[in-house]
Amino acid sequence: MSDSNCIFCRIIAGQIPAAKVYEDEHSFAFRDINPQAPVHVLLIPKRHVVSLKETASEDHAVLGHLLIVAGKIAAQEGIAENGFRVVANSGGDAGQTVFHLHLHVMGGRPMAWPPG
Ligand code: 5GP
Ligand code: ZN
């Protein structure tokens, strides 16, 4: 369920401090420690899922839930109106560095496309 070696599981458990912005039964959100935009929130499932490559059928509902919550967080953070970006870096080429699935919810400035 949770992985004691995983930094994000430890944040959920309150063992590592984080600036929480949202929590419900299945998800947890907190500010990125190294923000790349004026608003940069990490939204994670409470269940330890490594990445989008390692999802199981039991993650079906929570993955949908996370996208709904991402929109709510954007509204709560005041970036929904101007636009925001939701990113899930998955694996090496994408630059994933923490192996507990997370959505970056970012906004507060115009963003380029394609990403680097
Ligand atoms: P990834 O590169 O895996 O998509 O994103 C991992 C993100 O987690 C990075 O943006 C990084 O700044 C953030 N991060 C890593 N360690 C911590 C931490 O201990 N606390 C918080 N709040 N963010 C972290
Ligand atoms: Zn974890």
Distance of alpha carbon 105 from the chain centroid: 7
* Residues 20 and 30 sit within 8 Å (Cβ to Cβ): yes
Q: Which of 40, 100, 102, 104 is an active site residue?
A: 102
**DSSP-based three-state secondary structure for 84:** strand
Nearest CA to ligand 1 atom 17: 33
Nearest CA to ligand 1 atom 20: 33
Pocket of ligand 1 (CB under 6 A): 7, 16, 18, 30-34, 42, 89, 95-98
Is 102 catalytic? The answer is yes
**DSSP-based three-state secondary structure for 85:** strand
Domains and CATH numbers, the chain: 7-107 (3.30.428.10)
What share of the chain in percent tops pLDDT 90? 96
Nearest CA to ligand 1 atom 16: 33
Q: pTM for this structure?
A: 0.98
Query: Tens digit of pLDDT for each residue in 37-46?
Result: 999 999 999 9
Distance 96 CA to ligand 1 centre (A): 9
The whole-number pLDDT of residue 46 equals: 98
3-state SS record for 19-50? CEEEECCCEEEEECCCCCCCEEEEEEECCCCC
